[in-house]
Amino acid sequence: MKKYYTRACNFYYGKQSKILVKSKKTFPLNGNDNISFDCLEIISRKNKKLINIKEINKLSKSLKKKINKDLKNITKKKNFLNLKLKNFPILMGILNITPDSFSDGGKFNKKKIAYLHAVNLIKNGSSIIDIGGESTRPGAKEVESNIEWKRISQTLNQLKKKNYLISIDTRKSEIMEKGIKYGVKIINDVSAFNHDCNSIKILKKYKIPFVLHHMKQNPETMQKNPKYNNVLLDIYDFFEKKIKLLRKNGILHNNIFLDPGIGFGKNLKHNITLISNISIFHSLGFPILIGTSRKKFIKDISKVNDSKERLGGTISSTLFCMMQGVQVYRVHDVREINQSIKVFKNFLFN
């Protein structure tokens, strides 16, 4: 039986969106009448078709049932801890306490500097701080648990009293559990809990929120000629399958972010396809998190106009995803990204 996927598209914003939602000409995205849509792209492995929401009743009975199920996920209000997702976008500030991360390795791996940077991330507009002690850049080798924990433990301890929303970027169940005892509230595992067989047990034991992240293979090998049948639909299927597996293992809460993993086992074409069609993941029923900050695809596109911090490319990709209703952004330059969002929202939603 042919499988279909539903992508919300043709979005409206602000006052216009609210008027259209009220007159039932558009559907609100995630229950938010500040952003709505009136078209759906119905996609299969062989073709795709764009329809107006008025045409749903003209579809076959089985397809209409599928589309309406997806629409329920696309339009329902989504929750994640106490974050006000309706006031998207939400920023997750990156704190790499490593000597070798791809962009800021060695910059914050001194304990006091790391703590002060975490405080600044919050002051500049982060709702979440994502702390990592192991680089997962392309080609990176695995770090032993004791070294990874040593890098991050003091900073986590210093932040315990601050009551910040802390995410821990790790692939190891041992680090996850230690981090939880130090006040970590979110697990962000780039391997989608495939690297360590005990990590799912940690999720179940503590019922902790987490990021479900897509990565092909592992950091050492992920950029060696990655291939997909259809990158967009393959990753959608990956999320769907993984969520079913987690449910089967007793993880029943909905505090889950979906991250398609830009740059993790993807070439330029893959990354562009994912960013261009990111709204497809709304139909899975969970908030979307994306990390485009300083990624190599910006260099690949800008070529001679590349820069060290790739701020222009980060901002433009963030705003493009924002127009598709993506709720959470993992970024380095929180102040600048927050500034761009505030200015853009002032025009977009008025």
What is the DSSP secondary structure assignment for residue 193, as one 8-state letter?
T
Tell me, what's the pLDDT at 111? 60
Question: Mind telling me the catalytic residues?
Answer: 295, 330
Residues spanned by CATH 3.20.20.20 within the chain? Answer: 85-348
Q: What is the mean pLDDT of residues 281-285?
A: 98
Tell me, what's the pLDDT at 98? 87
Q: Which residues are within 8 A (CB) of 152 and not within 5 positions of it... i.e. 6 or more apart? A: 97, 131, 132, 133, 168, 175, 179
The pLDDT confidence band at residue 103, using thresholds 50, 70 and 90, is low
The pLDDT confidence band at residue 27, using thresholds 50, 70 and 90, is very high
| 5's tokens | 């996927």
The pLDDT confidence band at residue 87, using thresholds 50, 70 and 90, is confident
Q: Quick one: which H or E segment has residue 342? A: helix 334-348
Check pLDDT > 90 for residue 188: yes
| 145's tokens | 């648990």
Check pLDDT > 80 for residue 33: yes
The CATH class of the 85-348 domain is alpha beta
Q: What is the mean pLDDT of residues 199-220?
A: 96
Q: What is the mean pLDDT of residues 239-250?
A: 97
- Are 326 and 282 a contacting pair, CB within 8 Å? no
Q: What is the pLDDT of residues 314-337, one digit of tens each?
A: 999 999 999 999 999 999 999 999
Q: CA-CA distance, 235 to 238, in Å (whole number)?
A: 5
Tell me, what's the pLDDT at 108? 54
Check pLDDT > 90 for residue 89: yes
